[in-house]
């Protein structure tokens, strides 16, 4: 990044999980219709806690990743799963949630880097299970704004 951004510079994030924020700027290939190109999103991701502030940006995840993460969070709310992961193909970002006890505590682990060849950053947070419905709503809003195109990867 040429200048140091702050979360305030970007406005309200499209997805927020504790100290992790994600802003979606649009599709990487707005005219594409095939699964391989049409679903990539241009994003800015930030994670910060206790003096750490790490940013990543670019076409580093797909709308299908967001949809899958929202669905996995919904399964956590239903009690049919104890974990969820935003786990795109690109190595710059990974967010995982895992139930840590029977009291509704969830452990969030964010792995984020602007340069996966020379850096790695892992930041952990405690999240209350009551925040999962908001995460699901945020994922749904992103998918509604950028609907999945061509659900079959090889059509």
For residue range 81-118, list pLDDT tens digits in order.
999 999 999 999 999 999 999 888 999 999 999 889 89
Both structure tokens of 116: 């996966």
- Which is more confident, 101 or 8? 101
Locate the domains of the chain by residue range: 7-145
pTM of the complete model: 0.92
What percent of the chain has a predicted confidence (pLDDT) above 90?
A: 81
Condensed to tens digits (0 to 9), the pLDDT of residues 12-47 reads: 999 999 999 999 999 999 999 998 899 999 999 999
The CATH class, in words, for 7-145 is alpha beta
Contact 43, 23 (CB under 8 A): yes
Model confidence at 133, pLDDT cuts 50, 70, 90, reads very high
Q: What is the mean pLDDT of the chain?
A: 93
For residue 149, is pLDDT > 50?
A: yes
């Amino acid at each position: 990044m040429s200048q140091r951004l702050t979360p305030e510079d970007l406005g309200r994030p499209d997805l927020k999980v504790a100290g992790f924020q994600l802003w979606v700027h649009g599709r990487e290939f707005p005219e594409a219709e095939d699964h391989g190109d049409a679903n990539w999103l241009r994003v800015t991701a930030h994670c910060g806690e206790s003096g750490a502030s790490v940013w990543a940006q670019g076409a580093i995840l797909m709308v299908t990743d967001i949809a899958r993460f929202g669905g996995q969070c919904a399964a956590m709310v239903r009690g049919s799963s104890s974990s969820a992961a935003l786990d795109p193909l690109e190595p710059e970002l990974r967010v995982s949630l895992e139930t840590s006890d029977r009291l509704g505590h969830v452990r969030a682990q964010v792995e984020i880097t602007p340069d996966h060849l020379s850096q790695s950053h892992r930041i952990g947070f405690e999240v209350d299970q009551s925040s999962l419905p908001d995460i699901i709503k945020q994922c749904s809003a992103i998918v509604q704004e950028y609907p999945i195109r061509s659900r079959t990867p090889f059509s």
